[in-house]
Structure 1
């Protein structure tokens, strides 16, 4: 009986230790996928921050409110970070906002790299637009 209790206790502690670390908006890890949109008459900016563990935050620039949205699966988050890496944002210099603009930003230990688009006279490659649409569709 003691062995069973000991085994169950150790199993519980092991499973408890496997849970991903949870972050708050004020204490984010160094690796992030940031995306969103802004502009218009009010100049509102909606920023989303995805973390590798699947946590997703939303910030509204007008209300200054930041909320945690429904978490993505860790597997889905890892796929997005892999796709972001394949896009090689750091090799692209693209800053062409319009009155309504969209952005993708990679944040990691080496720094930040952001692309911005929306100007009608500057077209962004389809692979970046497709990635943005895909990740944006996961927001509920």
Structure 2
């Protein structure tokens, strides 16, 4: 069986090579197709520009849900048990700019150090390339830095309930 597969596979490759060699050569004036880099597009895992990441989790199951707003306005979500990101939708340029301004200017996330998750927690995170700043709260005895609960709530409000990950 294995021998038959290898024989068929080899003959398929040879026939493809012969058909490629038989094709006409491009005329001098023909342009080769352009290859565009997609390093800034795609999913949050490969995105190189700014991202705002908001999520929550904890409890008995330890489950978490995370939402990613990319600088280009694309919004993704992912639960910790998911292997892929879920595309939720495209935010307007004005709304995207407002969210980034809230996190960068109003919350001053790059200067805020606060990591007190508690059993059930919420977080706001800013990422660009290898730079990463995160504020996590949930511990009952700790006071959350100003503006973070408001930013979290307004971020979650921009995701319609029907599109939230369950």
Same fold (TM over 0.5): yes
TM-score (structure 2 length as normaliser): 0.66
Which of 88, 100, 120 is the aligned partner of 1:100?
120
Q: For the Cα contact (< 8 Å) 2:71–2:96, is it kept in 1?
A: yes
Higher relative contact order (CA 8 A, sep 6+): 1
Q: Residue 125 of structure 1 aligns to a residue in which SS?
A: coil
SS, match of residue 70 in structure 1: strand
Identify if the C-alpha distance between structure 1 residues 60 and 110 changes in structure 2 by more than 3 Å, giving closer, same or farther: closer
What residue is the counterpart of 2:65 in the other structure?
46
TM-score (norm 1): 0.78
**Alignment counterpart, residue 51 of structure 2, candidates 12, 17, 32:** 32
Q: Distance in 1 between matches of 2:142 and 2:77?
A: 27
Residue 6 of structure 1 corresponds to none
Could you tell me whether the CA contact under 8 Å between 1:23 and 1:29 is conserved in 2?
A: no
The structure number with the bigger radius of gyration is 2
Structure 2 CA distance for aligned equivalents of residues 26 and 105 of structure 1: 14
CA contact (8 A) 1:54 1:77 kept: yes
Structure 2 unaligned segments of length 5 or more: list them.
Answer: 1-39, 161-166
Runs of 5+ consecutive residues of structure 1 not aligned to the other structure: 1-20
Using the alignment, how far apart are the partners of 2:95 and 2:42 within structure 1? 18
Paired residues of 1:37 and 1:45 also in contact (CA < 8 A): yes
Query: Aligned match of 1:90 in 65, 89, 110?
Result: 110
- Alpha-carbon RMSD across the aligned residues, in angstroms, is 1.7
The match for 2:143 is 123
